[in-house]
Structure 1
Amino acid sequence: MASLGTLGRALSHRNARIFFGASLTAWTGLWMHRIAVSWLAWELTGSAFWVGVVAFCDLAPAVVVSPIAGAIADRADRLRLTMFSQAAIGLNAALIALLVALGWMDIWLLLVLEVLGGIAASFAQPARQSLMPGLVPRADLPAAVALNSLTFNVARFIGPALAGPIIAVAGVWPAIAANAVAYLLATLTTPMLRVEAAARRGHAATASLMGETLDGIRYAARHPGLGPILLFAAVSALLLRGVQEILPPFVERAFGRGAESLAVLTAAFGVGALVSGLAVAARGRMEGTTRLAVLGVLGLALSTAGFAATGWFAFGVLCAALMGAAGSVHGISVQTLAQNASDPAMRGRVLSLWGLITRAFPALGALMLGAAGEVWGLAWPTLAAVLLSLLVVAWGMWRLPRIRDALEGPPDGAAAR
């Protein structure tokens, strides 16, 4: 009940209802797209390595683009940037669907188009997230951040549940086409948001976009809380999140199943994330959030070990749900801390670094895991990554008091100054 009350407070605002309704639509399409494209790559190549490469091409552009996109989000109209970037994602998905339907798609063309989609997504992420403090009062911001993650994970459940049967019956292109429709609908609702000018733009443009980009990186790196927690999140994502990006080889090699089971596993991630996200939202306070960010990675490591070690599908589904739950706790906590501790003029750039972490590092991890899986199989490289991640958790617990003091204080950026 506390959780429903917290989320209801956030949704009592008109802007929040429009924003999260559009998010649910777009992200449902996104998860349908991800399932379809990963299965398409597996059908085209039969290689875990190439499935990892496709994931890498979608997510890795964030390495170069996200810091620049964050600087643009701090100087440009964030509402307009959100609208244009979402439209680009939808048009790119429409092109992929058309090429697949016509039988003109090959693995190389797919890689190019996934890079283009990844670039557009790298602009959308900081623009959308930077709008959030302008959608709800500051007191409701933790609930709005939690609701943002919950929306993503509800879509993570609905999208695969729709994509699996569609792929099994009609092939991959209708699932990709659904993503195009979803993002175009989200684009059309964006102008309906009423956001004050101060929240739409972080600061007036200066002469140097690259200088502002570097300022954002230096700001986060020097911040006594943001730098360490973002580094912790990046290394954890590199070691543990790649598994979720190359599920088709696990489904077929470890469990001997097809596209429907891929959808079941992906939906299990979403269900676990939804349940744990509701629990985090029910807290309604900043105190203890840093500890949750660290312990979430511990839970993710242990559940990933169980997933990699089993060939029993039912247990794999349980581990997937636990992985989703732990990852959601970690992600909501880090994003809440970043929103709280960032100076408003730097918020877009800080959140672009978070976007870089959530997109590029899982992609690199997937590429490494896919390559290692071709040589040693998928289980042993995954278990080795789990062992390394436990060392990262130990470091996080050791640094916890200092990081906590810098992130859970007043939300005015004073710790950084």
Structure 2
Amino acid sequence: MESQNSYRTLMSIPGLPPLILAATLSRLAARMFGLTLVLFVLARFSSPALAGWLTFAAIAPGLLVSPVAGALLDRVGPTTAVRIDLIASAAFIAAVSIAGWAGWASPLVLFVLVVLFSLAGPLGASGTRTLLPRLVPAHALDRVNALDTAVYAISDVAGPALAGLTVALLGPEAALSIIAFAYAGAAVCLSYVQRLPGLASRHASLLRQTIEGIEMVARQPTLRGLAVSYSFYQVTWGVLVVVVPVFVAERYGVTESSSVTGALWAAMGIAGGIGALLAGHLRTTGRERHVMAVGMVVTALAAWPVAAEFGLGGLAIGLMIAGMVSGPIDVALLTLRQRRTDPHQLGRVMSISMSLNLAGFPLGSAIAGMVITQSMSAAFIIAGCASIIAAAATASIPRDVAPAK
């Protein structure tokens, strides 16, 4: 049975290799775009404020329309939904690049193009994770989720590094063109994935199905519990993304802190990828709540006292521990959510849940920004407490809940 469940056997499933390759290219492109956009705006306008607002515009509109995107995904099918996102993303980023080359990249033009890019995002992000459980057998679900999570972790490390290198060597306009080609390449890869139809009824209106998706996530105990617990878990990461650079800067100075911070986050990302792949061997199905809760408690201890009280070495070890257990946490989250959701509603659940899960991250960053000026240790403690609350919320999720009907 173990050989039947190996990663090599998993990749023999029809349609899965091109889907994983498409997901890798698109996620790498997305991570590259986040940094490249900032560098492009700074080079063109020398305005950190504009860079911040455009980064916000690249994320927030997609989160707001995620319930509608989820309903559309269930109607048209995940393959078509992902293809729409990939083609739209390639087109809008190519337009930003062309506008830069031609000198048309005014703040208004950039804002419009970036918002349009953001609106298609939920289709791809949730569409891929809606496709996976329909392509693989149930016994391989935790393994494919581990592979998917590892792809995310690798993209988090490689994306910004590639973006910085490409902008430095070729300029931001060329980097944007390469990102557009990466999205186009992902769309080509997806053409080799079988088209799976939507499972939702077309007799109900799109608005009605959108409302049903929101109600379902709010009423279903598992989905509601996961939304609460994972949001608190993301508060921890929101705090860390602010406190880590400040911690490093106090010891190395502003000039050297960027490279040290980058190395720390790279090590954390690599640990996360390894943790995700190892999680595929844990057989998390049926034990997802326990895996998540234990991982969140470990994350809390990694944030405080390990990262906070033992200098730079403790910070590095704490981040790597937190990164390592983030893999099993994410795999268990995906498997539990997929397993306890009616396939007819999975697109809506994925789209809405993923947006809710992200809510804790900016909240954690905002809290850290206010607290860190008074006490850095207090910021680390808040990060740890958030993960403890997340673990408690995870433990309160019912053991066995039938899929929502």
Q: Give unpaired runs (5+ residues) of structure 2.
A: none
- Cα deviations by residue, 1:33-63 (Å, 9 ceiling, x for unpaired): 223234445665575x766544432222233
In structure 2, what is the equivalent of residue 294 of structure 1? 293
In structure 2, what is the equivalent of residue 26 of structure 1? 26
Native 8 Å contact 2:142 2:335 kept in 1: yes
Native 8 Å contact 1:42 1:248 kept in 2: no
Native 8 Å contact 1:293 1:329 kept in 2: yes
Native 8 Å contact 2:126 2:351 kept in 1: yes
- Cα deviations by residue, 1:86-125 (Å, 9 ceiling, x for unpaired): 1111122222333445565466654544332221111222
1:275–1:416 Cα change, 3 Å: same
Residues 1:87 and 2:87 are matched in the alignment: yes
Distance 1:54 1:250 in 2: 27
In structure 2, what is the equivalent of residue 174 of structure 1? 174
| Among 216, 220, 224, the residue aligned to 1:219 | 216
The alpha carbon displacement at 1:348 in A equals: 0.9
Q: Give unpaired runs (5+ residues) of structure 1.
A: 408-413
Give, as a single letter, the amino acid of the residue that structure 1 aligns with 2:349. Answer: V
Residues 1:143 and 2:143 are matched in the alignment: yes
- Cα deviations by residue, 1:119-160 (Å, 9 ceiling, x for unpaired): 111122222221112211222122111111111222223323
Identity %: 22
Residues 1:406 and 2:400 are matched in the alignment: yes
Alignment of 1:174-253 (within 5 A): 174-195=174-195, 197=196, 200-238=197-235, 240-241=237-238, 244=241
In structure 1, what is the equivalent of residue 275 of structure 2? 276
Native 8 Å contact 2:297 2:391 kept in 1: no
Give, as a single letter, the amino acid of the residue that structure 2 aligns with 1:172. Answer: P
The alpha carbon displacement at 1:317 in A equals: 5.4
Give, as a single letter, the amino acid of the residue that structure 2 aligns with 1:76. Answer: V
1:390–1:96 Cα change, 3 Å: same
Native 8 Å contact 1:73 1:127 kept in 2: yes
The alpha carbon displacement at 1:314 in A equals: 7.2
Native 8 Å contact 1:3 1:281 kept in 2: no
In structure 2, what is the equivalent of residue 115 of structure 1? 115
In structure 1, what is the equivalent of residue 126 of structure 2? 126
Distance 1:3 1:255 in 2: 50
Out of 259-268 and 27-36, give the one that drifted further.
Answer: 259-268
1:393–1:154 Cα change, 3 Å: closer
Alignment of 1:360-375 (within 5 A): 360-363=359-362, 365-366=364-365, 368=366, 373=369
Distance 1:185 1:245 in 2: 34
1:394–1:28 Cα change, 3 Å: closer
In structure 1, what is the equivalent of residue 60 of structure 2? 60
The alpha carbon displacement at 1:15 in A equals: 1.0
In structure 2, what is the equivalent of residue 285 of structure 1? 284
1:324–1:223 Cα change, 3 Å: same
Out of 342-351 and 314-323, give the one that drifted further.
Answer: 314-323
Native 8 Å contact 1:93 1:179 kept in 2: yes
1:266–1:240 Cα change, 3 Å: closer
Alignment of 1:277-356 (within 5 A): 277-303=276-302, 319-356=318-355
The alpha carbon displacement at 1:324 in A equals: 3.2
The alpha carbon displacement at 1:261 in A equals: 5.8
Give, as a single letter, the amino acid of the residue that structure 2 aligns with 1:272. Answer: A
1:236–1:126 Cα change, 3 Å: same
Alignment of 1:146-157 (within 5 A): 146-157=146-157
Give, as a single letter, the amino acid of the residue that structure 2 aligns with 1:281. Answer: G
| Count, aligned residues | 401
Counterpart of 1:282 in 2: which secondary structure? coil
Counterpart of 1:61 in 2: which secondary structure? helix
Counterpart of 2:191 in 1: which secondary structure? helix
Distance 2:219 2:238 in 1: 26
In structure 2, what is the equivalent of residue 410 of structure 1? none
Distance 2:392 2:95 in 1: 49
- Cα deviations by residue, 1:305-362 (Å, 9 ceiling, x for unpaired): 6899699877665555444334333322211111111111111111112321354543
1:390–1:313 Cα change, 3 Å: closer
Distance 1:246 1:45 in 2: 25
Counterpart of 1:213 in 2: which secondary structure? helix
The alpha carbon displacement at 1:18 in A equals: 1.0
Native 8 Å contact 1:89 1:120 kept in 2: yes
Native 8 Å contact 1:61 1:360 kept in 2: no
Distance 2:12 2:373 in 1: 46
1:380–1:162 Cα change, 3 Å: farther
**TM-score using structure 2 length:** 0.83
Counterpart of 1:142 in 2: which secondary structure? helix
The alpha carbon displacement at 1:235 in A equals: 3.2
Give, as a single letter, the amino acid of the residue that structure 2 aligns with 1:34. Answer: G
Distance 2:88 2:270 in 1: 29
The alpha carbon displacement at 1:245 in A equals: 8.8
